[in-house]
Amino acid sequence: MRVLVFSDDGTITGYGRFSMEVNKRLYQQDDIEIMAASMLHYGLMPAQYDGERLPYWVAPLGQEKWTQNFMYVLNSFNPHIVVIIKDLSYVELITLAMGAYDSIPRVIVTGIDGKPIVPRWIAPLESAAHVVSFSQFGVDALAEQGVSADQIAPGIDLDHFQPMDSDERQQLRSQLGISDDTFVLLTVAQNQSRKAIPHMLQGFFRFAETHPDSLFILSTQAESLNGWDIPMLCDMYGWDISKLRFYQDVQGLTMAQRYNIADAHTVLSHREGWSLPLTEAMACGVVSMAMDWCSGTEICGDDKGVLVKPLDYITVSSWGNALDYHPDVQDFSDQLTWLYDHPAERQRIAQTGQAWARTLTWDAAADKLAGILRSVVG
């Protein structure tokens, strides 16, 4: 069975990581031949992931005539099935490009990060052979618009993301100039408008007013054209930037090491299809905090993490006109205070989250997708 995958292979986006982890495993199955096509891989060198060359070929599509280039790849590879692992706007464009090739079935794997969903994005799903969402929130949102979907939760590299012993943790913190008594909050997220970075900063600095032994590590760019100039925010609102660290301060650490030096991890987003950093931090035994909306509810709910209340204030996003929720900054600050004041409870929640997160494997995700592909192709 020849499988052509359109995603972000060769780049470390959320979709790219899902696609590469799953495709590496599908490649190992005797009845599946994998080829990927990516807008974000430029093709100057063979596509790599975690410093290793991918075992399957990734065709670079470019970003100008990418639909035309995708059709060249489709004609050359002649797949039995096409898998699209991207946002629904790209699903629409690929479906239109494949108009004359409707005999080739399509499986859609997507992260639904909000609702309602643009009506014209629903039509390509209705003609798809199978639809998959990362979250149960996405499955339910699609069902509200008449689309049946299955869930495949993204996995975790359990060999890499695991708790480290206290001596190693203490040594890493010492190397970064962080004392044993400092309460470290971490966020691993892109500096972009969908992430509620100003809200996280405001809540942290409220917490820091009464907890001066605290530090916020933002494993992201300090300045972004798609998000915020965080040093400027601090200057404008009187926030002490010395209590912040950025990506450049921790880039020498692995992702697992970054999670392990933290006392709590948070990603507050106005919308979220699935957050790998939330589950990876959990797998490392660190409490994760998310807003009680979209996939955040199912990831951090049921005492697996900490949920931050949304405000009774909703705006319409510029991406797909879905509804943006906004976190209650005071509730976020209060939750940080509670975690600080109750280390035993913090540890209990972390253990519950860790036990759940470590059930999420890439093998399971790949096996479920392989089963769907075989059921479609026959």
Q: Which residues contact 212 (CB under 8 A, 6 or more apart)?
A: none
Given the candidates 3.40.50.11930, 3.10.105.10, 3.40.50.10490, 3.40.50.300, the CATH classification of the domain at 2-155+361-377 is 3.40.50.11930
Please report, in tens digits, the pLDDT of each residue of the chain (378 residues total): 999 999 999 999 999 999 999 999 999 999 999 999 999 998 888 999 988 999 999 999 998 899 999 999 999 999 999 999 999 999 999 999 998 888 999 999 999 999 999 999 999 999 999 999 999 999 999 999 999 999 999 999 999 999 999 999 999 999 999 999 999 999 999 999 999 999 999 999 999 999 999 999 999 999 999 999 999 999 999 999 999 999 999 999 999 999 999 999 999 999 999 999 999 999 999 999 999 999 999 999 999 999 999 999 999 998 889 999 999 999 999 999 999 999 999 999 999 999 999 999 999 999 999 999 999 998
DSSP string, 5-23: EEE-TTS-SHHHHHHHHHH
Domain residue ranges of the chain, discontinuous segments joined by +: 2-155+361-377, 166-357
Cis peptide before 163 (omega within 30 of 0): no
Whether 2-155+361-377 shares its CATH topology with 166-357 is answered yes
pLDDT for 157 equals: 95
pLDDT for 43 equals: 85
Nearest CA among 139, 82, 87, 75 for reference residue 111 = 87
Instruction: Quote the tokens at residue 179.
Output: 């004392």
pLDDT for 102 equals: 84
pLDDT for 347 equals: 97
How far is 281 from 259, CA to CA, in rounded Å? 5
Q: For residues 324-336, b (16+ Cβ closer than 10 Å) or e, as one string?
A: bbbbbbebbbbbb
pLDDT for 44 equals: 85
pLDDT for 215 equals: 98
Q: Beta strands of the chain (E only): which ranges? A: 2-7, 33-38, 48-49, 52-53, 57-60, 81-85, 106-110, 130-133, 150-151, 183-188, 214-219, 244-246, 264-266, 287-291, 306-308, 310-316, 323-327
What fold characterizes domain 166-357? Rossmann fold (3.40.50)
Instruction: Quote the tokens at residue 167.
Output: 């001596």
Instruction: Quote the tokens at residue 268.
Output: 């507050």
